[in-house]
Structure formats: C-alpha cells, structure tokens
Structure 1
Amino acid sequence: MDEQRVRGGGPPRWWRHGPPWGEVAAPTRWPWRSTVLVTLFVLIGSSFASHGQPDRVPLDLYARVLLVAGSALLLWRHRYPVGVAFGTVLAAVLYFGAGYAYGPVFLPVALACFSALVAGRRWAAWSALGALWTAHLLVAHWLFRWLPPQHDHAMPWGRELAVATWVVAIAAVSELARTRRDQWARERAERAQAARRRADEERLRMARELHDVLAHSISVINVQAGVGLALLDSDPEQARTALTTIKAASKEALGEVRQVLDSLRTQGDAPRAPAPGLDRLPELVQQAASAGLTVTLDGTPPRLPPGTDLAAFRVVQEALTNVVRHSGSRHARVHIGHEDGALRLRIDDDGPATGADVGGSGNGLAGMRERAAALGGTIEAGPRPDGGFRVLAVLPLKVTPKEDDR
C-alpha cells in the first residue's frame, strides 16, 4: 500500500515514518547537492559581507581556501560526523582568527554539529560548539592584539552574547531533531513488534483451528478404521459402514482444512464458507455416534457473536474428541446455558480414563484455554469425584473490540 501511494503521488514515506536522516543505517549516497549549495552560499555570502566590513581583512586566496575546505567537509558529514564537526570548527577558527569578515562562515559548523547530534554523537557536537565559542572568546578578547587586522579592538560583549545565542540555538535545534529521530525510531520498532505479534497470534489461531479440525476427524477415522479391520471378515456389511463413515469424516476434514487455509489469501477477501458454530452441534453429535459415542444435548444456545460461536463449537468438539480418545465411557452429556452475560458449556463423561494424559496436559485442552482466554473467558477441565471427567467453559457473550476487529 505504501509503495502504491508513493508511486501515485501521495505523501512521501518519511511524512508518516520520519525523515531519511532519522534512519539508523548510514546513507549510501553522498550529499553532493547540499554540499555544493552550501559552498556557493558561503563563498558568495562571505564576499558580500566583506564589502560591508572595511575594517576587516579583505578576502584573499587563503580565505577562500578555508571557506571551500570548511564547506567541502560536509560531504562526509553522514559517514564521519565527529571528524567533520571538529574539521569545520577548525576551518572557522582559522578564518576569523586571520581577521576576515564575519559572514556565513559558521553555517558549515551548524550543519556539521547538527548531523553529529542527530547521529547520536552528542559529546562530539557539544565539544565542537564549545571549542568554537571558546576560540572566539580568546580571539575576540585577548589574542586580537597579535592577530590581524592591525589596530583591532576587543569585540563588544553584546555581540559576544549574540554569538553565544547562535551557538545555543544550533544545539537546541539539533537536540530537538535528535529527539524526534529517536521517537521515530521507537515508533518504527513498536510497529514492527506489533506486526510480529499479530503474525504470531494469527499463526497460533491457525494452529488451533487445524488441531481442532484434524484431531476430531482423525479420531473418528481411527476408531472406524479399527472397527472396519475387526469386522472385515466376520461382518463385511458393518465394515462397509465403517469405511463409509471414514470417507465422510475425511471429506469433512478436508473441507474444513481448506476453509482454514483460505484465510491465508489476500487480506480483505471474504471467506468462501461461514465458520462453524453451535448450530452444527447435531452434525457433531452424529459424527460422535459414528465413532460409538452417544451424546446427549441439553439446553439451547443463544445468539452468539461469530468469534464466540466458533470458539464454543471448537470447545465442544475438542471435549468430545477427548472422550472418544481417552475415556472408557461411551456416553457424554453436553449442557448449554447462559446467565450473567456469559455462555456456559459443560461436557461430562462417566469414565474411566484409558489414556495417560486425561488430566489436560495435551495440546487440545491448552488450545481450548487459549481460545477462551482470547475472548476473556475461562476453561476448567479435570476429573469428577465420581470417576468421570468434566470440561467447563465460560465465554462472555459481549463482543470485545479485539474479537470484532478480527
């Protein structure tokens, strides 16, 4: 989207994410244009300033060499900010120490210290500005007796205050730019972290969906395959029924897996089929019956938001799958109720347990807890005092902003 907006004439990327000099990585291009413009401005401006200051030394070849050298150093200001900052200060000190006219000679110093500050070299920028002001104080109030022009006098302290104000202004603007650069860097890092978090949440959601779909269907297929093998010779007709159930379960599993994977298409596309909800509980009961499990339904589900409806269906599906895989009971009860703004699901079986992980240490129960927690609900799973097993889910009926956005 950003690329299209830039190509289509929209606002540039740094308008939203910060200017190019705020990037952490060093730029790959040399700042030729800005350096040439600054050099020309300093040369022309110093020439005009010299005409207005007849008491100073006229510009000569040495003065122009200093002006060009101080400005040309800006070409390396992004790669060597410390050296350029002190280099421009040295050129400026030699310039006004030789008695030449005041003018835009301090502009390269300002740009060099600005670049050093926004690059994070605060000590170098402050040290260079401090050295410039100290050198100016020495020249303007002590060394002027031995330096050109002859018969020079000390600079008024009011003008010295103006120079100090100029130095502080450079530092303040540079610090503000550095602060903005750091802020933009933090915002970029936060956006990247949020994008990674959303990607992790989406991968986790996909993993839960695939686990719930495949675990239930493969459990039914496994049970029916065992029945078919056992009755293949003694009762071919019953074996045929088991194979028919396997075919139906595998077809449904493939359809649901395809539906889950369809969500990986281009963002914004509508799903090809609605997500399953509690209205499909009769199909779930029929599938459980084909695996030899009798399920009794109690209660009527209320109108649910899509995310809560899907989570409730997956909780019941996973609970019945665990009964088929890990319980010796062939009967389960599903109770649906709602009160105090919450949906309550209770799935019971009479046991006994036949597996080693009936206490809830498997990925299925962990996935159910993650689903419930994402909606602000809870899952409780554990053995009952009479020897059976119970899964109790409490899901809020109110749509949260996070669920609604999803």
Structure 2
Amino acid sequence: MEEQRTAAAPARGGPPRRWHGPPGWGRWSDEERGARWPWRSTLLVTVFVLLGSAFAAHAQQGDRLGLDVLARVLLVAGSGLLLWRQRYPVVVAFGAAVVALVYIAAGYPYGPVFLPVAVGCFSAVVAGHRKAAWTAIGLLWAGHLLVSHWLYRWLPPAGDGPAPWVQEAGVATWVVAVVALSELFRARREQWARERAERAQAARRRADEERLRIARELHDVLAHSISVINVQAGVGLALLDSDPEQARTALTTIKTASKEALGEVRQVLGALRAPGEAPRAPAPGLDRLPELVEQAARAGLAVDVRGEAPESAPGTDLAAFRIVQEALTNVVRHSGSRQARVRLDHAEGVLRLTVDDDGPATGVDAGGSGNGLAGMRERAAALGGTIEAGPRDDGGFRVLAVLPWQAKEDR
C-alpha cells in the first residue's frame, strides 16, 4: 500500500502534475473537443457583437440608452451561450432569444444583438430541432412587438414612442431570412448525408461484388485441377504396389495439374495488384477448351466436343470457359460415367453450351464446396444469360447455358 501511495504521488522536487481538464476530457480527440466547444467561432461572434453594438450606440445616441455594464454583460452572455450550441442547441436558441429580448426591453440600442439568436437557431435547425428553433424566433418576434408597441410606456428610455411598422417589417424579414437559410442548409446537409451514404453503399456493393468475383474465379480455377489431383492420387495409391509404372504416371499427372493450377491462381490473384495495372496474361476462353479435354482425360474422363468455339467478347468467353470447366469437374466428382459430351452452338446473338454425361450419380462426397452450380448461375446472370442444370430422363445429367453472344471484333 505504501508503494502504491509513493507511486501515485509526484516525486519531491519534481515538476508538478499537469491538469488535463475535467473528467473524461482525455478521452476526446482534438476534433471532438473542437466540435463540443466551438471556441473560435463563439469568440469571433462575441467580438463582432460588442464592436457592432458600440457603433450602433454611437449612431442611436439620444434615441436609446448607451452601453453600460449591464448591456455589455447581456451582449457577452448572449454570444457566450453559443459555446454550448452543439451540445444543447434548443437551450441555446431559447437562451439567446431571451437575452436579446431583455437587452431590447432595457432600452439599449439596436444592432448585432440578434446575431447570436440567428446562429443559435441555425444550429438548432441543423441539429434537427426545427420546431424549437422556429418557436424561439417566433417568441422573440412576438416579444419585440409587445415591447415596442405596448410595454414601451413603462420601459426605458423615458419618453420613448412606439416603434415604426417599417422597423417591424424589417424584423419580420430578418426572421424569415434566418428560418429560410437554416432550412436550406438543413435540406442541403441531409442531401449531402444521403449522397455520402449512397456512395458508401455503392462502394461496399462494388467491394462485395469484387470479392464474390474473385472467390468464384478461384473456385473455378481450383475445382477442376483439385478434382484431377484427387482422382489421380487415388489411382496412384491403389496401384503403388501392383503397378508402379501406372502409379508413376498418376503422380506425373498430379504434378502437371498442380503446376497448371498454381499458374491460374497467380493469374487470378494478379487482379489484386495496384489499380490500373493491366493483367500480364489474358483471361482464359473457349480457345483453351482442348486443355480442359486433356485435363479431364488425365482424370479418366473422355470428353467429346462438337461445334466450333466462337471468338466471343472477353466477358462471355471467360464465363463460357468457366461454365464448361465446372460442368466437367462435376462429372469427374459426382458421376459414375467416364464419358461426357460438350456441344457449342452460336447463332442469332446467343451462345448455347450443353454438357451431358450418362450418369449415374455416384453419391460420393468428392470434397467440393457445393458452390459450383451457384457460381455458374451467377456468371450467366451477370451477362444476362441463364443456366439450366438437372438430371435427364434417361438417368444422366445435363448443364445447359444460354449466354448473350457478341463477336470479339464488335467490342
């Protein structure tokens, strides 16, 4: 306990402790302190009100009372309330209106005494307290009418008469101007807030779409190669003792497939480089269909391709390639058939891709994520196309993709 007291107390002869403000002050950043306590703007308004009122008193000498200690206290009090306008906007709006009304009722000269009222009500409207701000300004105007047209007989200065209605019209114009400006700024601020929210939402949506695109691309890149590796690894393990040469062939296929998968993963991840940097390798397309057929053959799947691969626009070409790749991967994983058929047909602005196998389904979990068909549908939908996938009546399985087709030279 003695050690704790010694550690808590400042060392003798050392520098005194510095005061860091009221409790909780240290938790605020400089920006938060400036927002809670607008010292600079309040000081500027106070100086302007004092100097402007001094000039007004000189111009209205003989008609209104001069500025004494009470007048200056009221001016400083009305302006000083603005220091709390961001924390208590309603209180500041009513307080500034009351101080200004007391100042005018005491017979002091007109001048910038209404400026703190305008600033306070403006802050209240911007903060969302519109009715309170209107009420404060309305009470000030009504009080001014009462003082200048009825109570002036009993209020200083002595011998004062009713205020001209032209002056009342000026006060009313000032009230309308303050309300209109406050409402205009409030509406504009809400519009800015909506635009910022919409931009943030759009940015989040683009980020989500980009993450989905990258995830879908990685899934499609890895699924086929991993399926080939999985099948060949099973073959190698089964033949390791009985047929070492065939096991060696399976291991060679695994090595080739893994190398190709790594290359495609590098290509996909290249999209995550600095914005604006062009990719070093073109995206895969239907011109690489023979490579898919060769990879499927290494996994024990014979693929018969009919039809010519058209030179499509890059987006359609990539989507078509990935759809065929995923469909063949599903055959390797889930079908008992070792044969598949791919049909390509493009006419009248439509590219039709059909991938068939004769089944039956093995019902074996091949380690997939279950997102293959969903990924194909997302790719097709992004281009305005459709995907139909399901079992055939004869026991096989069919994937039919219909994509809008546009020739590469038309881009």
Partner of 2:156: 148
Counting only pairs closer than 5 Å after superposition, residues 6-405 of structure 1 correspond to structure 2 as 28=35, 30-53=37-60, 54-355=62-363, 362-398=370-406
Letter in 1 for 2:258: S
The two structures have a TM-score, normalised by structure 2, of: 0.87
Distance change in 2, residues 1:259/1:80 (3 Å):
same
Distance change in 2, residues 1:191/1:26 (3 Å):
farther
Aligned equivalents of 1:352, 1:192: Cα separation in 2: 49
Aligned equivalents of 2:105, 2:395: Cα separation in 1: 97
Farther off after superposition, 347-356 or 168-177: 347-356
Shift of 1:388: 1.2
Shift of 1:179: 0.5
Shift of 1:295: 0.6
Aligned equivalents of 2:124, 2:317: Cα separation in 1: 58
Letter in 1 for 2:230: N
Letter in 2 for 1:58: G
Check the 8 A contact 2:306/2:343 in 1, yes or no. yes
In structure 2, the residue corresponding to 1:249 is in which secondary structure?
helix
In structure 2, the residue corresponding to 1:263 is in which secondary structure?
helix
Pairwise CA RMSD: 2.0
Partner of 2:20: none
Q: Structure 1, residues 253-308: CA drift from partner, whole Å, max 9, x if none?
A: 11112222222222222223221111111010000001111111111122212121
Aligned equivalents of 1:270, 1:325: Cα separation in 2: 35
In structure 2, the residue corresponding to 1:275 is in which secondary structure?
coil
Check the 8 A contact 2:36/2:86 in 1, yes or no. no
Shift of 1:30: 3.2
Aligned equivalents of 2:369, 2:221: Cα separation in 1: 19
Shift of 1:183: 0.6
Q: Which runs of 5+ in 2 are unaligned?
A: 1-31
Check the 8 A contact 2:57/2:64 in 1, yes or no. yes
Fraction of identical pairs, as percent: 76
Partner of 1:6: none
Q: Structure 1, residues 88-140: CA drift from partner, whole Å, max 9, x if none?
A: 11110110000111111101111111111111121221121111111111111
Aligned equivalents of 2:395, 2:160: Cα separation in 1: 106
Farther off after superposition, 103-112 or 147-156: 147-156
In structure 2, the residue corresponding to 1:267 is in which secondary structure?
coil
The two structures have a TM-score, normalised by structure 1, of: 0.88
Aligned equivalents of 2:248, 2:151: Cα separation in 1: 110
Aligned residue pair count: 375
Shift of 1:26: 8.7
In structure 1, the residue corresponding to 2:400 is in which secondary structure?
strand
Farther off after superposition, 388-397 or 32-41: 32-41
In structure 1, the residue corresponding to 2:351 is in which secondary structure?
strand
Check the 8 A contact 1:46/1:105 in 2, yes or no. yes
Aligned equivalents of 2:110, 2:80: Cα separation in 1: 19
Q: Structure 1, residues 218-262: CA drift from partner, whole Å, max 9, x if none?
A: 110111111111211221111111110000111111111222222
Aligned equivalents of 1:69, 1:352: Cα separation in 2: 89
Q: Structure 1, residues 66-86: CA drift from partner, whole Å, max 9, x if none?
A: 111111222222222122111
Letter in 1 for 2:147: V
Check the 8 A contact 2:79/2:96 in 1, yes or no. yes
Check the 8 A contact 1:27/1:78 in 2, yes or no. no
Farther off after superposition, 178-187 or 76-85: 76-85
Shift of 1:362: 3.1
Shift of 1:394: 0.9
Aligned equivalents of 1:47, 1:351: Cα separation in 2: 98
Shift of 1:398: 4.2
Aligned equivalents of 1:285, 1:398: Cα separation in 2: 25
Check the 8 A contact 2:36/2:84 in 1, yes or no. no
Q: Which runs of 5+ in 1 are unaligned?
A: 1-24
Letter in 2 for 1:120: G
Farther off after superposition, 301-310 or 281-290: 301-310
Regions of 4+ moved over 3 Å: 25-30
In structure 2, the residue corresponding to 1:28 is in which secondary structure?
helix
Aligned equivalents of 1:278, 1:26: Cα separation in 2: 62
Farther off after superposition, 258-267 or 96-105: 258-267
In structure 1, the residue corresponding to 2:278 is in which secondary structure?
coil
In structure 1, the residue corresponding to 2:35 is in which secondary structure?
coil
